[in-house]
Amino acid sequence: MIKLVESSEPSYNNAQWIAKNRFFTYCKLVYYRIFAIFYSLSGICSKVIMVNGTWTRDHIVALWGVDDRTYLVYPPCNVDNLLRINSKAEKLLREERRVQMLSIGQIRPEKDHRLQICFLAELKKRLLKENLNYKIRLVICGGCRDMDDVQRAKDLQLYAENMGLSNDDLEWALNAPIDKVEALLEESLIGIHTMQNEHFGISVVEGIAAGQIMIAHNSGGPKLDILNADAVGSKTLIGLLAASVHDFVDCALEIIRMSPEERSSIRDAARLSVNRFTETNFEKGWNSVVEKLLPAYG
């Protein structure tokens, strides 16, 4: 966060009026650095530190310097029902040349739904330019916590219209019930996740468990843990990573151009990898870490 402020880059947590003003940027940096000192002191006093991913672990160790007391425990993901989903995406692609893409996440600024809208608009242009006849559709399945989120969704819908996208191109499934979400997962070939520096990314886990091929932002938990084939010793991709609109478009086209067998290999490897994130493994990891505290209070 300090690096973001130093870069004077506007973001959801660094307002443009601050980013473009040296004095306000300086004041914010002073505030953050003072806060970081007290935050570090609190960490030094901790006997056991539990983190939910590699990105968070690296951040905590760099800030607190407590490598020997920091333990990684992935959050519990209830994937049992999702693993039982029999994806219809390949059939839709083969018989109807239909490619449904799905984004699941709350309508919050940090989720960067604007990037998703730009990605869809650019993907349509690339398909037209390369004479690829596919019916592309993005479904944004998001929860609205309050009226601010509702207004944000309306603003995004207007932005999509201004980008030339119609209801046939983009569907908004806001506050959808679980059966609707499962139906969308069943028909979606590609999952989209655009948040930068996500600590973990449960929706990415849910996507690959349901049989989607995920394209996630090349940062945070999706990069270092969930879609990291090396982390599970897989020789097959378990997802793709992107950092810009053009990266996401390239990844989507790569998936579409793959053979069914290539996509199936990615799906199988990805689904196998989610065993790391089950509730059972979370319980084992949690208990193992908490037990380290018991002698001190026994």
DSSP state of 224: I
**Parallel/antiparallel/unpaired status of strands 98-104 and 70-72:** unpaired
pLDDT < 70 stretches in the chain: 1-26, 295-298
* 210: nearest Cα among 81, 77, 76: 81
Q: What is the pLDDT of residue 15?
A: 56
**Pairwise CA distance, residues 52 & 73, whole Å:** 5
Beta carbons within 8 Å of 28's beta carbon, 6+ residues apart: 5, 14, 18
Distance of alpha carbon 259 from its chain centroid, rounded? Answer: 25
* 117: nearest Cα among 144, 135, 138, 100: 138
What are the CB-based long-range contacts (under 8 Å, 24+) for 199-204? 199/52, 199/53, 199/55, 199/56, 200/52, 200/53, 200/56, 200/74, 200/75, 200/225, 200/226, 201/226, 202/75, 202/77, 203/104, 203/105, 204/239
Contact criterion met (CB below 8 Å) for 4 and 219? no
**Pairwise CA distance, residues 40 & 34, whole Å:** 10
